[in-house]
Amino acid sequence: MVNLLTLNTLRCSRKDVTEGRLTLTTSRVEVRPTSDYDAAFLQHLLPSLEWDQLVAMALVVGVTLPAELNETLRGDDAFLRALHHVLFDVQVLEGSLCCAESGQIFQIAEGIADMMLPEAVV
């Protein structure tokens, strides 16, 4: 089942895009605790996240995250718990990812994100 952490690592694989930023739309989402909260692991994870994209995706599944990351937040337990929830507990079952630059759409079906491009654009 694909979670927001995994979705946050993805980009559009078309050769003609520079950033390939993806926007999420969902039609079926499941929320259930999957892994134990680990503050150190999250702090370690923070620098590799594309924050703006995560904020936008979190909004789609109904979670509002602060627009800017700062030092206080990094040590804030309540914030880290909310982050853990949005990264790991929210599972997207059905939906799609859309590339803002090329308009390419990647389907998410039954919890599997399909990142393949049609052969005409490979």
Partner 1 sequence: MVNRAKQQQREAARAPPRDDAVADRYLLRFVLEAHTDRFRYLELDALLRSAGLDPASCYDRPSAAAAAGEEPYVVLRAPSPRLLRDVVTRAILVRDALEIWGVGADHGACAAQAAALEGTDVFFGEETTWCLGVEAYGVGLDLGAQEAVRNQYRGAFRCRGRVRLKGADVRYRVVEVYDEARPARGAAPARCYAGRVVAASRARELVSKLDLKQRLYLGPTALDAELALIMANAAGVREGCSTLDPFAGTGSILVACAALGGRCLGSDIDWKVLRGKHVSERDSGERRRGALPRKQPSAALQPLHADDRERRTIFANFRQYGLPLPEILRMDSSRFFDSFRGPSIEGAFDCVVSDPPYGVRAGARCAGKDGAVKPVPDELRREHVPATKPYATADVLCDLLEIAARCLKRGGRLAYLLPATNDLTPEDVPRHPALTLVACEPQQLSTKYARWLVVMVKGRDWSARDWTPAVRAGVRRGADAPFAALKEKLALPAPPPAPKR
Q: 3-state class of 86 per DSSP?
A: helix
Tokens for 17? 């895009």
| Spatial separation of the C-alpha atoms in residues 94 and 106, rounded to whole Å | 11
Q: Which stretch binds partner 1 (CB under 8 A): 5-13, 55-63, 69-77, 79-87?
A: 5-13
Identify which of residues 8 and 83 has a Cβ nearer to partner 1 in the complex.
Answer: 8
User: CA 88 to CA 74: how far, in whole Å?
Assistant: 18
CB of 82 to partner 1, least distance (A): 20
Site string for partner 1, 85-104 (x = CB under 8 A): ------x-------------
CA 19 to chain centre: 15
Site residues for partner 1 per CB under 8 A:
1-3, 5-6, 8-11, 13, 15, 34-35, 38, 41, 48-50, 91, 107, 109-120, 122
